[in-house]
Structure 1
Amino acid sequence: MLATILTLAALFFAIGAWWLLRDLIVGSPLDNIPGPQSPSWLTGHLQWLFHRHSGWKFHNELSNHYPGVAKINGALGKRILYLFDSTALHNVIVKDQQYYEEANVLFNNLMLGPGLVSTLHEQHRKQRKMLNPVFSVAHLRHMTPIFYQVAHKLRSGIERQVRRSPGDVDVLNWASRAALELIGQGGLGYSFDPLIEDAKNEYGDAIKAALPAAFSLGGLIFLVPYVANLGSPAFRRWVLDNLIPDPKIQRFKGIVDYMAGQAKILIAKKRLALVEGGDAVAQQVGDGKDIMSILLVSACQHGRVRFRKAHRRGAFGTNDDVDFGATDTTSGALAQILQLLAQHPDVQERLREEILQASCGKDIPYDKVVDLPYMDAICRETMRLYPPATDVYRDSTKDMVLPLSKPIRGVDGKFMKELPVPKGTRIIVAIRACNRYKDIWGEDAHEWKPERWLSPLPASVIEARVPGVYSNMMTFLGGGRSCIGFKFSQLEIKVVLSVLLVSFKFSLSDQDVVWNLAPAKYPTVGRTSTKPSLPMKVELL
């Protein structure tokens, strides 16, 4: 075993040495792309790119000072392409997407199994094809009453806290609980949280803890591609259980094991209910209209072979993807909107009036709530300026050439209309930078102005042809790996806003709140705290 460990260590060293020598001796065509000077050969710009506070400034400097593309440095001098030019982005995520693979697929597979975020090519396309019907407009209409049930419970829970405990309310905590319950009932047909009183749910706690536990591993994540296929699964598991005592790794392993075990139990229970039919289905959370139930019905209708194939493709494990991804992003977006409404009381009051006129004291039906013009403008502008995810990563799998929307001046002084991209190049798809790019959105691109969506967008926005699936922006990406549940998320947010704003007035707290850069950004009280929290003053109307 010692010989095996020494062999692996020597392999890692050899790979690192080869990368270093190759870059130092051969150089790269990316060196002609302008970018900020690297502060360190060892860590490059990573300390700025990922810093939860100063990272915002670095991202702003890249989007403000470079014309749609910049070269930055990773560890050991590794070149990274920071990309927010709309034409180049179209090639990366739409036209030539098969040659720009998602960078974290292997790690996602270890964490969540072979679901949407951890599969590629044909397997990924088959999974999306199976899931598309449950994210259709027709199905969302059926889901809307479930969303309202959760939203009313949320309102009752907040009201109880406001009446019993004067002072600030942590709206992020309530938003996170509601988002998990919404995706739990809509995705799994499972209730995580009654929302009226504090109730512990280990499955829900595991989902919430998975992302922080994963990123507590730090640089170890980058070793995954080199060890994920060493030996058999049983051998890798034995090594993990017996030779790696690191508490962070063991905690992460425990969370992943628990989530996988609970998902299997839930699938078995749901399948049994579907076999029994009738009352057994009706008694389930969501009345069998959730994503998992629909997938199970489809699989069971085609017999055991189809059911086993669905398991192998990760179709049911995809529900962990949905729960895991939708909770932090949706809750963060909802909390951000509430904070902005508190910062702009006139906007909050105007939105409240729009909701009251549309509701007439009742829940607003699907077709009406999704098209409320001022609410839609507020959601779009918040998603543009403050997307939940700042960026995503792609790796080129062959030598490519990226066209640009306009020529840029290279380091050699010559203009370039296209960029050579060597095989193995890490590309940062800069979501936030593209959404704030002044060449597209104008000089007021960094201002929160919902009214921009109440009149025709500038010609520059239309002409840019940003390849996103949502409102000429990159918030939910585009192409074959776009966010499949973005309409689901928008409906959740609008239903919750339509219920809360007729009952409460939201105002800013006296506490200092800062937003932290992360895979899904989150607020804290002050810069030293790591606990997600957004205290606000909430007044009963």
Structure 2
Amino acid sequence: MTLLSTLTLAIEAFLIYAVSWVVWRTLRQYVVQSCLDNIPGPPSVSLWKGNLGQIFDTNGWNFHLNLAKKYGQVAKVHGLFGDKQLYIYDPKAMHHIIVKDQDIYEETSLFIQSNLVIFGPGLLSTLGSHHKKQRKMLNPVFSIAHMRQMVPTFHKISNQLRDSLTQRCSDGPQEIDMLRWISRAALELIAQSGLGHSFDSLKKDELPHAYIVVMKKLQPTIFSMVIARNFLPWLVKIGTPSFRRWAISLSPWKKLREIRDMVDFMHETSLEIYNSKKRAIAEGDEAVLKQVGQGKDIMSILMRANLEASDEDKLPDEELLAQALSFMTHFTEPIPIYRTLTFAAVDTTSGALGRTLHLLSEHPEVQAKVREEIRTAKEKFGGDLPYDELVSLPYLDAVCRETLRLYPPISYLSRTTRKDTVLPLQDPIRGIDGSIISEIPIPSNTNVIVGLRASNTNPQLWGSDALEWKPERWLSPLPDALQEAHVPGIYSNLMTFLGGGRACIGFKFSQLEMKAVLSALMETFEISTSATEEIAWNMTAIATPTIKGPTSMMPQLPLTLALAK
């Protein structure tokens, strides 16, 4: 059988399967009654996309806000071809989804397959006991004891960033794309402390490493294909990896080929890093000490721990690599590339830092208080702050918490029920027929969208000012209603870092990065908004700033920096 005939058969099989799936889903949703029919929610605006175009709109902030305002903590929304889904941020329901019944409410097949394709078999793309085994190996490297050891590295990189920006501002205030600089710093922070490698000296005139350019381009490119990605779980079953790669090469879809090229580049870069680290460990302590991080980085510790682990706990090489690497297991041959830790650490941290700087530029009175607190603390210690002092600066901590509350880098997540279940509610809702609903029967294979930002800004818990950025709220006792709600987030009654068995394993690492960078920048600079450009934040998978305009999708954050007095 020729390659062309094989391709033809594969396409025919997929089309038959796709048409059958569409017919079955349409009949199921529009003809067969569902347990969710009585749940209020917005009308479907598209026969085939339902509300997904609104939910995943890059400018979808108002849709999500109005959804919460009009329908409250539980709403029915429509997916592909009328598929009925739930949008939820009721605290008790979230506890069952995220913690108590997390084995029933698994990551969607789309999420798992997308991350497996891009990131490899790491934390983002494994489930159940497989996922728990990987977390058991990773937990020690994110301990407080290890965080303390990272502080000098964090300060060194943050000070390099400060010094380069100081040179830019030596002749007066300058408008600078801060996203570019903090992305470079975030990559270098995870590179040195996580991978024991250096990508960037952070010098003024040095261009960002191509790796960071690719990473920043990858996320919006993937997000722009969000509807088409729903078919990914079936596409990856067609033929062999080499066949699928060949099919991509012939595809007229430019974005698909761009993703392939980005992954290829990251593979080449990361394979070189990994092999270098593997050789150093094999050669012994002297070789390790010559590397960046001197063997104290996350990857070195993880590799050594895996060598010493029992056969039961040991991770296969491909899984070990996938924690900081990934490989294109489905669209290409299975070759490892650095991704999971790197991608999660860089994009979310740079996004959170960028949002914080943007907010501080709009609130000079808050900025002045932060600067005074940092300067006073540094004068006391005669320089960079030790771990305990850095993490406990009350006003800086309040600024970080409030930013992560009101503007979490990820606004929502999806889960799929793997069997029929019943979801209890903390606050009963009124059904379309007028009945009071305190629990919802949910069929197997139902998607549930958890509103992370909606929970963080729920006025029933946070008060009437829940949508205002007010760092001072963290300097007083939080509302009783919030304390009594038992929101299942791992951090400060927030859903920003999730909770349960799939909570963000590096949330302490991320907070430490933010505070180290902010302590260096806010001591030195006065930051104000751009005089010429207005910033818009896009509601992509990870919130991203761009210059406001109908055609602008290039991530950037122009702010004006001046040396502080």
Normalised TM-score (structure 2): 0.91
Verify the 8 A CA contact 2:421 2:442 in the aligned structure 1.
Answer: yes
Q: Which residue of 1 aligns with 2:536?
A: 514
**Alpha-carbon deviation of 1:220?**
2.5
Matches within 5 A, 1:121-520: 121-163=128-170, 167-196=174-203, 197-241=205-249, 243-301=250-308, 309-312=316-319, 314-317=322-325, 320-360=339-379, 361-510=382-531, 511-520=533-542
Give the stretch that moved more between structures: 180-189 or 481-490: 180-189
**Alpha-carbon deviation of 1:400?**
1.0
Distance in 2, matches of 1:130 and 1:303, equals 11
AA matched with 1:486 = F
SS in 2 for 1:15: helix
Distance in 2, matches of 1:177 and 1:422, equals 45
**Alpha-carbon deviation of 1:245?**
4.4
AA matched with 2:152 = P
Give the stretch that moved more between structures: 433-442 or 170-179: 170-179
**Alpha-carbon deviation of 1:73?**
1.2
Verify the 8 A CA contact 1:64 1:437 in the aligned structure 2.
Answer: no
Verify the 8 A CA contact 2:173 2:560 in the aligned structure 1.
Answer: no
User: C-alpha offsets along residues 228-282 of structure 1, whole Å, 9 cap, x if unaligned?
Assistant: 23344344444444x5343221221122233234333322210111122233212
Q: Which residue of 2 aligns with 1:49?
A: 55
Distance in 2, matches of 1:212 and 1:235, equals 26
Verify the 8 A CA contact 1:192 1:204 in the aligned structure 2.
Answer: no
SS in 2 for 1:198: coil
Q: Which residue of 1 aligns with 2:3?
A: none
Distance in 2, matches of 1:312 and 1:135, equals 18
Distance in 1, matches of 2:134 and 2:10, equals 37
Distance in 2, matches of 1:67 and 1:382, equals 23
1:76 aligns with 2:84: no
After superposition, the CA RMSD in angstroms is 1.9
User: C-alpha offsets along residues 355-375 of structure 1, whole Å, 9 cap, x if unaligned?
Assistant: 111111400100110011111
Q: Which residue of 2 aligns with 1:31?
A: 37
Verify the 8 A CA contact 2:324 2:341 in the aligned structure 1.
Answer: no
**Alpha-carbon deviation of 1:130?**
0.8
Identity of aligned residues (%): 46
AA matched with 2:350 = S
Distance in 2, matches of 1:69 and 1:382, equals 25
Q: Which residue of 2 aligns with 1:530?
A: 553
Q: Which residue of 2 aligns with 1:101?
A: 106
**Alpha-carbon deviation of 1:382?**
0.8
AA matched with 2:558 = P
**Alpha-carbon deviation of 1:164?**
5.8
Give the stretch that moved more between structures: 108-117 or 180-189: 180-189
Give the stretch that moved more between structures: 38-47 or 176-185: 38-47
AA matched with 2:504 = C
Give the stretch that moved more between structures: 312-321 or 137-146: 312-321
Verify the 8 A CA contact 1:295 1:316 in the aligned structure 2.
Answer: no
Paired residues, number: 539
**Alpha-carbon deviation of 1:183?**
1.2
AA matched with 2:84 = R
Verify the 8 A CA contact 1:112 1:256 in the aligned structure 2.
Answer: no
Distance in 1, matches of 2:64 and 2:32, equals 29
User: C-alpha offsets along residues 371-426 of structure 1, whole Å, 9 cap, x if unaligned?
Assistant: 11111111111111111111111111111111001111001100011111111111
Distance in 2, matches of 1:194 and 1:107, equals 33
SS in 2 for 1:172: helix
**Alpha-carbon deviation of 1:200?**
4.7
Verify the 8 A CA contact 1:467 1:478 in the aligned structure 2.
Answer: yes
**Alpha-carbon deviation of 1:114?**
0.3
Verify the 8 A CA contact 2:121 2:318 in the aligned structure 1.
Answer: no
**Alpha-carbon deviation of 1:209?**
2.7
SS in 2 for 1:70: strand
Give the stretch that moved more between structures: 42-51 or 444-453: 42-51
SS in 2 for 1:474: coil
Verify the 8 A CA contact 2:546 2:556 in the aligned structure 1.
Answer: yes
**Alpha-carbon deviation of 1:154?**
0.4
Verify the 8 A CA contact 1:300 1:306 in the aligned structure 2.
Answer: no
Verify the 8 A CA contact 1:114 1:317 in the aligned structure 2.
Answer: no
Normalised TM-score (structure 1): 0.95
User: C-alpha offsets along residues 106-129 of structure 1, whole Å, 9 cap, x if unaligned?
Assistant: 111011110110111111111111
User: C-alpha offsets along residues 19-41 of structure 1, whole Å, 9 cap, x if unaligned?
Assistant: 11111221211111111122232
Distance in 2, matches of 1:236 and 1:444, equals 51
Give the stretch that moved more between structures: 519-528 or 193-202: 193-202
Change (3 A) 1:148 1:464: same
Distance in 1, matches of 2:237 and 2:14, equals 12
Change (3 A) 1:67 1:317: same
Change (3 A) 1:306 1:418: closer
Change (3 A) 1:183 1:312: closer
Runs of 5+ consecutive residues of structure 2 not aligned to the other structure: 1-5, 327-337
Distance in 2, matches of 1:133 and 1:381, equals 28
Change (3 A) 1:315 1:343: closer
Distance in 2, matches of 1:86 and 1:195, equals 43
AA matched with 1:515 = W
